[in-house]
Amino acid sequence: MPKVALITGITGQDGSYLAELLLDKGYEVHGIVRRASLINTHRIDHIYEKIKLHYGDLTDSTNLVRVIKKVKPDEIYNLGAQSHVKVSFEMPEYTGLVDGLGTLRILEAVRLLGMEEDVRIYQASTSEMFGKVVEIPQTEKTPFHPRSPYGFAKVYAYWATKNYREAYDMYACSGILFNHESPRRGETFVTRKIVQALDKISRGEQNVLSLGNLNAKRDWGHA
């Protein structure tokens, strides 16, 4: 029997690449999608018939329990999030509900279903948890000092994952991701905004390239 993986955020940059990788490894791949995400499935259109999608939302614990019970995954990859830092200041409560409590809901769903020993959980964390950095480069021992609602929601998710691992002996781990790009990167992120603006300027459709903090420094990788 093939291993079964359940991915939240499967329509995003990372989720689509992960789905491809797991399919290549012979996994049965399931994804949780919000109804609103169905208009944005272009990243998985080429594998649409090879994966199984389920309606769901990280803000709905009852739904998560239902989906996990139905799928019976060997592995859960929680990549779903409101991941835009600027938007998190405009929607702090929603960001907390999805990015922070959403992770808790997955962990608790697995516990309630008695699947602690059967499921491995990966939680996508972020370098935004470090926020006001105290050392460069950061390590796993660097203190967290988030400076955005997105950052502190992810800190909550990180500690929830650690707590459930220690309290219930669950295989639950966090991977701290720094900025990473690809052709599938969302158009609201800075690299895509720069490229699109320069393209429009070159065609006379735009005059100004507007950016935020020009002193910000980031480590970039490839998705």
Residues annotated catalytic, as ranges: 126, 128, 150
Q: How far apart are CA 160 and CA 125, in angstroms?
A: 12
Q: How far apart are CA 94 and CA 84, in angstroms?
A: 12
Distance of alpha carbon 116 from the chain centroid: 22
Residue pointed to by tokens 């594998």:
47
Q: Which residues contact 15 (CB under 8 A, 6 or more apart)?
A: 7, 8, 9, 31, 43, 44, 77, 79, 80
Distance of alpha carbon 30 from the chain centroid: 15
User: At 116, which helix (H) or strand (E)?
Assistant: none
Question: b vs e for 54-84, b when ≥16 Cβ sit within 10 Å of the residue's Cβ?
Answer: bebbbeebebbbebbeebebbbbbbbbbbbb
